[in-house]
Amino acid sequence: MINYQSDKRLKIIFAYTGTVLPRVLPYVFVMMLWSLALILFFEFTGLRFEMSSQAHSIVGVALGLLLVFRTNTSYDRYWEGRKQLGSLCIGARNLMNQANAVIPEEEKEYREQIGMLLAAYMGAMRDDLRDGITLKSMGKLTGQLHQRLNQHSNKLNGLLSMLNTELRLGVRKRWMHPSEFNPIVQSIADLQAATHALRRIRQTPLPFAYVNQLKVFMGIYFVTLPFVLIPQFGYMTLVIMAFFIYALVGIEEIGLEIEDPFGDDPNDLPIVPLTNGVIKDIQDVLER
């Protein structure tokens, strides 16, 4: 994610990194070549083929509405992802503080074990939203904990199950009353809920038919637009086409980038700093 100052107007306007310009420029180049080819063809052949600007304007309004809906849908996924990521971090910190309040300070090995499990869960959740869970995701899990985790096909559920089992030891050892264990169960349930919400966003793309229809619609609109502009503007059509492509394709590219907010694009959510911050807090509180 790019941090910026909204009052630095010129710096934002002339920015390149983090914008959709690198992905839009190929479309601009291709459509300008198409427009130039039509201009030269009409000049050398003397032929003219003109489309109604009014009809094309109506199509443009419909295309604009589709693009707005597309971008709003993508931003809903982006904002929902940020809320659920915040819920995940809050749930992990709540569980950390509850465990810290229950487990005696002299139980250093046990505290480290709980800390390793919770930190491994945050690391595994982070990588599950990207390239998949690996051994590196698990952080400092010991061999015994790895063996127990390998019995679970779903590593995230396995880590939560192991946390639940280990923290119940506090009841058996009379570190807390059984009724005091309920907040811990609720914190684990909150982690589970946030995990499923994040995975739902990650694994549910927009319907293919909608995405296909929008791209085909845009393609037809841009291919036929020079037939409207050339009779009136001539070579200025190249500039006008570049502006239209930048504006409309840029809006679509924004929707494409934030549709999956868990990647490593410049405008994606800062998953690594957020999860690493939680992991550092866990290590400071439980493992030291």
Question: What averages of pLDDT result for each successive group of 10 residues across the chain (288 residues)?
Answer: 74 80 92 93 80 78 86 92 93 90 84 88 88 73 78 85 86 80 89 92 88 88 90 90 91 89 86 91 81
**Which residue range is the domain that position 119 belongs to?**
79-204+271-286
Does 86 reside within a domain?
A: yes
Does 154 reside within a domain?
A: yes
DSSP annotation of 19 reads: S
Does 189 reside within a domain?
A: yes
98 contacts: CB under 8 Å, gap ≥ 6: 183, 184, 187
Does 171 reside within a domain?
A: yes
Does 146 reside within a domain?
A: yes
Check residue 15 and give its pLDDT.
Answer: 80
Query: 53-102 and 155-167 are packed helices; what angle lies between their axes, rounded to 10 degrees?
Result: 30
Does 282 reside within a domain?
A: yes
Which of 149, 144, 175, 173 minimizes the C-alpha distance to 160? Answer: 149
* pTM confidence score: 0.85
Does 138 reside within a domain?
A: yes
Q: H or E stretch including 54?
A: helix 53-102
Q: Total structural domains in the chain?
A: 1
Distance CA 254, CA 132 (A): 25
Does 55 reside within a domain?
A: no
